[in-house]
Chains A and B, each alone.
Chain A
Amino acid sequence: MSNNISNGKDDLFELCLRLGDDCLILGQRLSEWCGHAPILEEDIAMTNIALDLLGQAISLYKYACELEGKGRTEDDLAYFRSSLEFRNSKLVEQPNGDFAVTILRQFIFDSYSYFLYDELKNSADSTIAAIAAKSHKEIKYHLRHSSEWIIRLGDGTEESHNRMNKAVNELWRFSGELFEMDDLSKRLFENGYFPNLSVIYDKWKIYIKDIFEKATLELPSNEIFMQTGGRSGNHTEHLDYILAVMQILPRSFPQAKW
């Protein structure tokens, strides 16, 4: 019995890392737009979303540390892990590219987390359920923001339409990983902590299809090869650069306070 409980804790710890790392890395990516966005209002919108994601990461990391019980803090998880120890999907570490790439990356992620967190509100773990309920309110707004942009860019000018198509070609292969049911997800699902991702995928697909139609964009075929590996620490080369920028200060001056 006690063995079961500790296994459950390990699984939940891993779940917190998967969810939290997605938020942290995407938030870090979005914050790169700060001061560089195409227009002031969008600069503020993207950095607001980055801050929301950072807040969600902090809640998940705090709970991860509590589950682990080794006295680590959320800062330890953010600043003192290598890329091999990060569990985020490859999608969120992809470079910002142009505004179309950033918005599509955001849209794929927002729509995935919208349906995922809606289900996580019913998780058998009450802390996960509470974090999901709080985050879902923010995610609703993120999704509205990215959906409206997909429609305007796709159904905008010839140039914005072409750039959206290019972004779809670049990023679609990273969407499959979000819905993979590996052994950990299956165990979490069986214990009532986590939803069945194939159900999330079906809802996600319907939503994406609707927005793409409004945006006069075509969904890529189902046969496209999907990237994988982020959830087990096999990342694209981009993650190391992100971590180098994000971690340099606390790694150079571990006692620094700010």
Chain B
Amino acid sequence: MNENMNDTQWKPWEVFIQVKTGAPHEHAGSVHAPDAELALQNARDVYARRGKAVSIWVVPSECITATKNEDNEIFFDPNDDKIYRYPHFYKVPKGVNLDV
């Protein structure tokens, strides 16, 4: 089989959508597109047409560096046994007004 025929898709892009000004851009999914402008248009058509959105970012998926499964232990486990890293470890002294 011709190698070029293995993948006739355009390259993938990750889509991040901001639902209101000041809110973080959150990952919505991915689209295929030949370039950045069409990636934005496709992202708009696929993810933002019905939902609320004020801004869209698209990033070539190949630009994202991700942790691997085997990294999980050294990256994430240490948190579990260091409970003092979480705010709920600490008791709030009497007299501190939490309603402010």
Contact = CB atoms under 8 A, between A and B. Distances in A.
A240 interface: no
A145 interface: yes
Interface string A42-64: 10110010000000000000000
A41 B34 contact: no
Given A39-B9, A39-B10, A39-B32, A44 B46 contact: yes
User: Range of interface residues on chain A?
Assistant: 10 to 19
B54 interface: no
Contacts of A41: 31-33, 42, 45-46
Interface of B: 9-10, 31-35, 37-38, 41-42, 44-46, 49
16 contacts: A39-B10, A41-B31, A41-B33, A41-B42, A41-B45, A41-B46, A44-B42, A44-B45, A45-B41, A45-B42, A45-B45, A48-B45, A48-B49, A141-B44, A145-B41, A152-B38
Interface of A: 39-42, 44-45, 48, 141, 144-145, 148, 152
Given A41-B32, A44-B45, A44-B46, 17 more contacts: A39-B32, A40-B32, A41-B31, A41-B33, A41-B42, A41-B45, A41-B46, A45-B42, A48-B45, A141-B44, A144-B41, A145-B41, A148-B37, A148-B38, A148-B41, A152-B34, A152-B35
